[in-house]
Chain A
Amino acid sequence: MPTRRRAVLILAALTGLSQLSIILALMVGSIPISPAEVLSTLVDPGGSIAADVVRNLRLPRALTGFACGGLLALAGALLQVLLRNPLADPYVLGISGGAGIGALLAIILGFGVVGVNGLALGGALGAMFLVFGLAHGDGGWTQSRLLLTGVIVAAGCGAVVTLMLAVAPDDRLRGMLFWLMGDLSQTSDPALTLIVLAAILLIALPFARELNLLARGADVAQALGVAVRPLRRGVYLVASLATAAAVTQAGAIGFIGLIVPHLVRLTIGNDQRLLLPASVLAGGSLLVIADTLARTMLAPQQLPVGVLTALIGVPAFLFLLSRATPGRH
């Protein structure tokens, strides 16, 4: 049975993990910095090189990574409930596809970081409203209709992205590919993304028990007193915005949104009151660790972080799946 005490303990442990992952990200790199030094640079901004590296390079990148990982995991958890489909991820409804078109267009046109982010956000919102409008239709809204519309829009966006890659000049291709695989090296100020993450989590948490019911079926939820229609719309909107915010900041980082909610569900159960915050913390930590590996494994070369999230996430997921309750179908 879910209890508040257990939830607090689990969240405290995951908060510890998040802090460890961020401290690790601050320590590791071309200039190794000891934990004591990291802590001292954080409390006392001195003028040393170490302080500069930690405060101006590694900390913003780690915090952005944490925020994006948290947003993607949260969006994945919400969409899995909305679509009642454990295979749903933040990209299944075409939001990353729309963002991809915008971002690649900006890269081809030679825009800077702000332009790329702006067009990516525009593309993400465009795809989001397109899918909503098409799936909404006459007011009837079924999971399968929403899912199919999203998958088709995503496929269309994928085709446009491929077309853009095919016609893009060679010197832009590397940047475009890194964007598509997810990349944190171009990150700017993490404050806005962190605020979006906190806001979306705070909006979602009061409805967590209603989401538990929605996961069991819309009619069951409605019979138990849940206002299903506004709840579904709200979840769609909030999950889409979370995805758009993450993708805009860091590109289409894969696997976090699919695997993290699953990992969490397999270990602590499917109570959204615990699952949503736990997914945020676990997703954030995983992305920070993956990004730290991505920039150090083959240093000075930086790998796209999306590759690392998959390389860490897939074996971890398969391990948990294999030891999950044997009695299941």
Chain B
Amino acid sequence: MTRPAPLLTTHGLRVGIAEHTFCRDLALTVRAGECLAILGRNGAGKSTLLSVLAGLREPQAGEVLLAGETYARLGARASARMRGWLPQSRSEAFSSTVLETALVGRHPHLARWEWESATDARIARQALAAVGLGDLAQRDVHTLSGGERQRLSIASLLTQAPRLYLLDEPLAHLDLNHQIATLELLAELTRDGQTACVMVLHEPGLAARFCSRALLLFGDGTTQQGASDEVITSDSLSRLYGYPLREIGDGRQRWFMPA
């Protein structure tokens, strides 16, 4: 069986802000069907790296290829049909309904003068149902709780239907039940072998359970990547977070506790 062509590739990538370098000479390959977790301390550059991978920010050096093409060559619209980006937080300045907010994801699929069709509305309603917001379609987004807003952002991303999902803390504000539901939803997406996820996570146990691979950002420019089973260990995590962590497992799942 041939391996699927990579959805996302980086060569010699250096990402940083001003003098501070988060990673250097990073070579990353994400193929369809894969799920990559990005772990690191606060301020280690996880979000900055993710926005560079999403083509929203220029790297300091190196290049990012989306299905073999640079973002510049693809153009903003074609890129938006292939990769979706979940921001860490978003605020709505104006009221709009939950359904209208989910429909925003259809933008790259519509021609300039085209209006959202019944098909687009159906896609958006399915996405809302998938995150458990099906009954709130007509609610004003300003009346939603933090967790509901986060799920709405994920629904907008599902409505966009990209092949590569770049998610900045998809579990933020979510209760335990919805954390697992969201990760299962994303894992289900990648199972079709057409889609891939890259997500910033703060819970190494969940990363080990749901992501096939992991990238650790140590904050000093060094990184470590590989299969989750090999990279997510109590030794590397203790170094990553600067605090000793102990691994607890029941043979199937592994958890990491502050010692």
Contacts and interface: CB of A to CB of B under 8 A. Distances in A.
Interface of A: 1-4, 84-86, 206, 209-210, 212-213, 215-217, 219-220, 222-227, 265, 269-271, 273, 325, 327-329
Contact of B115 (A2, A86, A265, A269): A2
B96 interface: yes
A329 B142 contact: yes
B158 to A, nearest CB: 13
A4 B113 CA distance: 11
B190 interface: no
Interface string B66-100: 00000000011111110011010011111110011
Nearest to A83: B93
Nearest to A223: B85
A40 to B, nearest CB: 40
Contact of A325 (B94, B95, B108): B95
B93 A206 contact: no
Main secondary structure of the interface of A (DSSP, over half): loop
B92 A209 contact: no
A224 B93 contact: no
A226 B105 CA distance: 12
Nearest to A273: B115
Interface string B26-44: 0000000000000000000
A329 B145 CA distance: 11
B61 interface: no
A270 B96 contact: yes
Contact of A219 (B87, B94, B105): B87
B90 A217 contact: yes
A223 B110 contact: no
B143 A223 contact: no
A225 B115 contact: no
A279 to B, nearest CB: 14
Interface in B91-122: 91-96, 99-101, 103-105, 107-108, 110, 112-113, 115-116, 121
Interface residues of B, number: 39
Interface of B: 51, 54, 56, 75-81, 84-85, 87, 90-96, 99-101, 103-105, 107-108, 110, 112-113, 115-116, 121, 139-140, 142-143, 160
B112 A206 contact: yes
24 contacts: A1-B121, A2-B115, A2-B116, A4-B115, A84-B93, A86-B93, A209-B110, A213-B107, A215-B93, A216-B104, A217-B87, A217-B91, A220-B104, A222-B56, A223-B54, A223-B80, A224-B105, A225-B75, A225-B80, A227-B76, A270-B95, A270-B96, A327-B143, A328-B95
B1 to A, nearest CB: 33
Nearest to A269: B96
B58 to A, nearest CB: 12
Nearest to B94: A270
Contacts of B112: 206, 209
Contacts of A1: 99-100, 103, 116, 121
Contacts of B108: 224-225
A215 B78 CA distance: 21
Contacts of A220: 87, 90, 104
A327 to B, nearest CB: 5
B79 A225 contact: yes
Contact of B160 (A85, A210, A224): A224
Nearest to B109: A225
Q: Which 4 A-B pairs have the closest CB atoms?
A: A225-B80, A225-B77, A223-B85, A225-B108
